[in-house]
């Protein structure tokens, strides 16, 4: 995958996020942050995606949690995903307007629920503090508890247009 030199173009305006991927897999998807699920198709597999902001405390790739990592339980259906999204929105409303540094937004996270295949992918795209790189970490959690969680990490150089 590294030799393919994929390009991820991320455009964020207001509550709208566009992610365009060019490489082995080509896609372009438009999301509303904390919005309804968007159906995507990757190599014949149907996914329901939701996007939320990634806060400093959410990242499973923070330095102090890198080795153990944290994962999100796999969603079992659309209703559970919708309920999780509503809970996240309620939590956001309860936060103080003067958000502390440890709760600052550092990127976006996409939850990709494989509709017919029994797993969820959590993709985090985090901008480094010096804003020169985007660290993308992916965690696959299967509905079958016998299957191990799979993790991958890629680092992209940030190019501004």
Residue 50 pLDDT exceeds 90: yes
Any idea which of 54-58, 64-68, 101-105 has the lowest mean pLDDT? Answer: 64-68
Distance between CA atoms of residues 136 and 138, nearest Å: 7
Residues in the chain: 161
Mean pLDDT of 63-67: 32
Tens of pLDDT, residues 112-135: 999 999 999 999 999 888 989 999
Paired tokens of 113: 């629920």
Residue 3's pLDDT band, with cuts at 50, 70 and 90, is low
Burial class (CB in 10 A: 0-12, 13-18, 19+), 93: exposed
Any idea which of 1-5, 128-132, 153-157 has the lowest mean pLDDT? Answer: 1-5
Higher-confidence position of 131 and 97: 131
Neighbours of 121 (CB within 10 A): 19
Which residue intervals of 52-154 are DSSP H helices?
A: 78-94
Which residue intervals of the chain are DSSP H helices?
A: 78-94
Per-residue pLDDT at 62: 40
Q: Can you tell me whether residue 85 is helix, strand or coil?
A: helix
Paired tokens of 143: 């509905």
Tens of pLDDT, residues 14-44: 889 998 888 887 888 999 999 999 999 988 8
Residue 97's pLDDT band, with cuts at 50, 70 and 90, is very low
Distance between CA atoms of residues 27 and 10, nearest Å: 12
């Amino acid at each position: 995958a590294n030799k393919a030199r994929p390009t991820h173009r991320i455009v964020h305006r207001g509550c709208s996020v566009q992610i365009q991927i060019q490489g082995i897999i080509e896609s372009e998807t438009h999301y509303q942050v904390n919005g309804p699920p968007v159906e995507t198709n990757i190599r014949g597999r149907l996914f329901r995606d939701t996007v939320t902001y990634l806060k400093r405390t959410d990242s499973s790739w923070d330095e102090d949690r890198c080795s153990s990592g944290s994962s999100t339980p796999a969603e079992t259906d659309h209703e559970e995903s919708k309920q999780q999204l509503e809970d996240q929105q309620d939590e956001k409303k309860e936060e103080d307007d003067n958000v502390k540094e440890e709760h600052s937004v550092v990127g976006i996270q996409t939850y990709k629920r494989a509709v017919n295949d029994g797993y969820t992918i959590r993709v985090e795209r985090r901008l480094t503090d010096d804003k020169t790189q985007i660290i993308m970490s992916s965690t696959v959690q299967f509905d079958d508890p016998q299957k191990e969680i799979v993790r991958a990490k890629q680092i992209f150089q940030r190019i501004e247009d």
